[in-house]
A and B are shown apart, each in its own frame.
Chain A
Amino acid sequence: SQKIEQNSEALNIQEGKTATLTCNYTNYSPAYLQWYRQDPGRGPVFLLLIRENEKEKRKERLKVTFDTTLKQSLFHITASQPADSATYLCALDLYSGAGSYQLTFGKGTKLSVIP
């Protein structure tokens, strides 16, 4: 069956370091992958989208890579700050049956940036 795995439930890093979060998927070849940020008690906020023909995408201190051979995406936050502390979700378009593809989310990685 198709699966999305964010292999760390929680990640603690020191302020100023680069945080690297991982998203792996199996049994599927998605056309694109997205990353969202979710703060406690709030809805997710879209950060970046990367397509299957793109290897890397950047936005300010954020960088996403997409390796379709390894079936993996890495999400980097450089020069991390305490304000970056949140849960980060990756999402893929997965086949949901009857010709329909829907965005399916991983369970997320809770990032804590320690001052």
Chain B
Amino acid sequence: SQTIHQWPATLVQPVGSPLSLECTVEGTSNPNLYWYRQAAGRGLQLLFYSVGIGQISSEVPQNLSASRPQDRQFILSSKKLLLSDSGFYLCAWSVGGYNEQFFGPGTRLTVL
């Protein structure tokens, strides 16, 4: 069966510090991968998606970036965090682009 892992579960970082969040998927090949952010009182916002290794599409301009170095690994990064980057970050995968998505447990990021 397929599983999705995200770490860390929680993170507290100072403004201006770098960020690296990792997501890995097991039990499936060539999944579509997604990074979402959920801020307090707001809906899920799609940040990045990837249909294959090295292929990244960005949905919103921001100081975050994403990379997909391996088929089942998706990394979210920032060189310098802003206060507004605080939120609940979720990784998800799907088979193709028109099917249900399966979400990881999420990372709660607080930028102080």
A residues sitting closer than 8 Å to B (CB atoms) are 31-32, 34, 41-46, 49, 89, 93, 96, 100-108
Contact = CB atoms under 8 A, between A and B. Distances in A.
Contacts of A103: 46, 101
A102 B49 contact: yes
A18 B100 CA distance: 25
A93 B98 contact: yes
Interface of B: 42-44, 46, 49, 57, 59, 88, 90, 92, 97-106, 108
B57 A45 contact: no
B48 to A, nearest CB: 11
Majority-rule SS of A interface residues: strand
A105 B43 contact: yes
B106 A104 contact: no
Given A43-B90, A46-B100, A102-B59, A107 B108 contact: no
Contact of A44 (B97, B98, B99, B103): B103
